[in-house]
């Protein structure tokens, strides 16, 4: 992601780095375009070993969660237009919980990491950049125990996207 030098560490969360354009006003952006999510593994990570079909299932599931969480409140569209924010997300790490032979969790809590950019869908003007890792989330309920923390991270990010949109529009 371009602009790494602009990011600052969130004082409340050492695993989050963020940049927001100073003075941005996103109140007129009431539509959201969510690009297809991609997996771009960190060099040397275990994510490189995850089969392509599992990566695709993860990206599809994550995008579905984002749309399901946001769409009741903000229109999700598939083409650039006036008043459309574009969200691009790359999953950079997927770490399932290690399982023992009996299927019970072993060492490791599981985690997921993303890099995301939010911009004007027509002009490409960047408003927000984020790099974040969520570890050990227990929110996931649908996935097998092995993938529960990854699903939980996706749910957390879906909620954070809605919270961000609400903040920009003055919704409490």
- Give pLDDT, residue 17: 93
In a domain, 4, yes or no: no
Candidates 112, 90, 143, 106; CA nearest to 46 is 112
Is the residue at 96 inside a domain? yes
Q: Is residue 33 assigned to a domain? A: yes
Is 172 a domain residue?
A: no
pLDDT for the residue 106: 52
The mean pLDDT of 125-146, rounded to a whole number, is 76
Domain annotation covers residue 46: yes
Mean of the per-residue pLDDT values for the chain? 86
Residues 58-90 pLDDT 10s: 999 999 999 999 999 999 999 999 999 999 999
126 pLDDT more than 90:
yes
- Does 121 reside within a domain? yes
Query: The CATH number of the domain where 133 resides is what?
Result: 3.40.50
Its sign, for the CA torsion 126, 165, 139, 103, is negative
110 Cβ neighbours under 8 A, 6+ residues apart:
95, 96, 97, 135, 136, 137, 146, 147, 148, 149, 150
CA dist list (Å): 25 to 9, 110, 119: 22, 36, 12
81-123: pLDDT as tens digits: 999 999 999 999 988 766 555 555 555 567 889 999 999 999 9
**pTM value?**
0.86
Residue 27 backbone dihedrals phi, psi, to 5 degrees? -60, -30
Strands 84-95 and 38-39: parallel
Pairing of strands 111-120, 84-95: antiparallel
- Print the domain residue range for 25: 12-165
**Is 26 inside any structural domain?**
yes
Is residue 122 classed as helix, strand or coil in its secondary structure? Answer: coil
Residue 100 tokens read as 């023992």
Written as six digits, the tokens of 19 are 């940049």
Q: Describe the chain by its helix, strand, coil percentages, rounded to 5.
A: 30, 30, 40
Q: Looking at the 3D structure of the chain, how many domains does it have?
A: 1
């Amino acid at each position: 992601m371009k602009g790494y030098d602009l990011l600052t560490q969130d004082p409340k969360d050492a695993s989050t780095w963020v940049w927001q354009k100073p003075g941005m006003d996103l109140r007129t952006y009431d539509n959201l375009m969510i690009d297809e999510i991609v997996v771009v593994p960190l060099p040397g990570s275990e994510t490189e070993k995850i089969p392509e079909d599992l990566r695709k299932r993860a990206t599809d599931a994550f995008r579905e969660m984002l749309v399901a969480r946001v769409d009741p409140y903000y229109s999700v569209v598939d083409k650039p237009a006036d008043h459309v924010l574009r969200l691009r997300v790359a999953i950079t790490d997927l770490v399932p919980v290690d399982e023992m032979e009996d299927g019970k969790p072993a060492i490791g809590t599981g985690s997921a990491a993303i890099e995301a950019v939010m911009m004007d869908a027509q002009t490409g003007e960047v408003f927000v950049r984020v790099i974040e890792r969520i570890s050990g989330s227990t929110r996931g309920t649908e996935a097998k125990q092995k993938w529960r923390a990854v699903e939980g991270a996706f749910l957390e990010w879906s909620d954070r996207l809605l919270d961000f949109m609400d903040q920009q529009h003055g919704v409490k």
